[in-house]
């Protein structure tokens, strides 16, 4: 009897260990517990659609403060869209108190420097390898703190991400902590008082990945005019940053269209790689526009 009990216990332990590394179940949000170099304790959740494409694309969807991978999975349209278009969705989950992302430390603001950005980038490369995904179709998006991380990932890992959609964030590097603190709040930035030239913001991006000369992800930036958490000036500063990175003239956009993509929204296009959408009377955060996201990422074209 004791032998049977011992055997049952050993089998249960073995089963639990196997469960931690079990392949994700198609059509369900699954946790990946072993994916190579995890520089922080950020959780890795993945949605592999039942209708998986032969060489699928990948979208990294990054949640907001107080959120989680599960909350963003339930509250965003990407899993349903994954079934329609056959791509994989990665839902990182913040390890920090309050579940904001670290967009302030030197580690996370440096290519391969450690920090949450490094961990999330490694989730993406693991997924590409495991699922024979199309490396030219790896994208990132997020809301609020996740939008901040989206800008950081676009700056620190332009070799991985090919396009990014930012829902109500701040420029990459705007939340930097003078003390190097992890997951620090920056009131100056949040209140829209971190104001710089396009050239200065461009240098911030380039300093995150020194000597990088390759392609950079095309950017789409959303922000609401009634945002009282990350004030609307952050939209202008983010547009300065990415227009500068791509060499566009911030003062002379290619086009500005009222009531696009809907009434009260204004779409400003600087060029093929940078566009902004300013939502009048919309607070924090701008609602996700899943169908439009599919067009920007190229799944629907």
Q: What is the pLDDT of residues 34-68, one digit of tens each?
A: 998 899 999 999 999 999 999 999 999 999 999 99
- Res 11 pLDDT > 70: no
Name the band, by pLDDT with cuts 50, 70 and 90, for residue 19. very low
What is the pairing mode between strands 274-279 and 218-224? parallel
Which of 108, 141, 182 lies closest to 285 in space, CA to CA?
Answer: 141
Q: State how far Cα 257 lies from the chain centre.
A: 26
Q: State how far Cα 233 lies from the chain centre.
A: 21
- Res 8 pLDDT > 70: no
Name the band, by pLDDT with cuts 50, 70 and 90, for residue 2. very low
Torsion, Cα 278 283 288 293, to 10 degrees, reads 10
Taken in order of first residue, the domains within the chain and their CATH numbers are 28-297 (3.40.50.1820)
- Res 239 pLDDT > 50: yes
Q: Is 206 exposed, middle or buried (0-12, 13-18, 19+ CB in 10 A)?
A: middle
Positive or negative, the CA dihedral 117, 285, 32, 98 is positive
Contacts of 21 (CB under 8 A, 6+ apart): 33, 34
pLDDT value of position 5:
35
pTM of the shown model: 0.93
Tokens of 32: 């990946």
Backbone angles phi, psi at 191, to 5 degrees: -80, 5
144 classed as catalytic: yes
Q: What is the pLDDT of residues 92-129, one digit of tens each?
A: 999 999 999 999 999 999 999 999 999 999 999 999 99
Catalytic residue from among 144, 145, 194, 273: 144
- Res 7 pLDDT > 60: no
- Res 191 pLDDT > 70: yes
Backbone angles phi, psi at 249, to 5 degrees: -90, 110
Q: What is the separation, in whole angstroms, between the first and last Cα of the chain?
A: 64
């Amino acid at each position: 009897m004791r032998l049977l009990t011992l055997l049952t216990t050993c089998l249960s332990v073995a089963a639990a260990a196997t469960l931690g590394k079990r392949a994700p179940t198609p059509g369900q949000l699954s946790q990946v517990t072993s994916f190579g170099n995890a520089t922080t304790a950020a959780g890795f959740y993945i949605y592999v659609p039942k209708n998986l494409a032969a060489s699928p694309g990948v979208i990294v969807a990054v949640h907001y403060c107080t959120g989680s991978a599960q909350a963003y999975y339930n509250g965003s349209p990407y899993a349903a869209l994954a079934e329609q278009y056959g791509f994989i969705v990665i839902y990182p989950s913040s390890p920090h108190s309050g579940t904001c992302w670290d967009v302030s430390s030197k580690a996370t603001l440096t290519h391969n420097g450690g920090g949450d950005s490094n961990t999330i980038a490694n989730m993406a490369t693991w997924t590409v390898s495991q699922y024979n995904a199309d490396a030219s179709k790896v994208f990132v998006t997020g809301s609020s703190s996740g939008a901040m991380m989206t800008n950081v990932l676009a700056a620190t890992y332009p070799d991985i991400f090919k396009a990014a959609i930012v829902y109500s964030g701040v420029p990459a590097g705007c939340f930097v902590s003078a003390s190097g603190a992890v997951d620090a709040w920056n009131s100056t930035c949040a209140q829209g008082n971190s104001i710089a030239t396009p050239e200065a913001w461009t240098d911030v991006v380039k300093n995150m990945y020194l000597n990088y000369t390759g392609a950079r992800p095309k950017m789409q930036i959303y922000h609401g005019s009634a945002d009282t958490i990350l004030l609307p000036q952050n939209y202008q500063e983010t547009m300065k940053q990415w227009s500068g990175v791509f060499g566009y003239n911030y003062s002379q956009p290619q086009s500005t269209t009222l009531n696009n993509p809907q009434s009260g929204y204004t779409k400003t296009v600087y060029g093929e790689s940078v566009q902004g959408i300013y939502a009048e009377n919309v607070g924090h955060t701008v609602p996700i526009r899943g169908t439009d996201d599919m067009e920007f990422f190229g799944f629907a074209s």
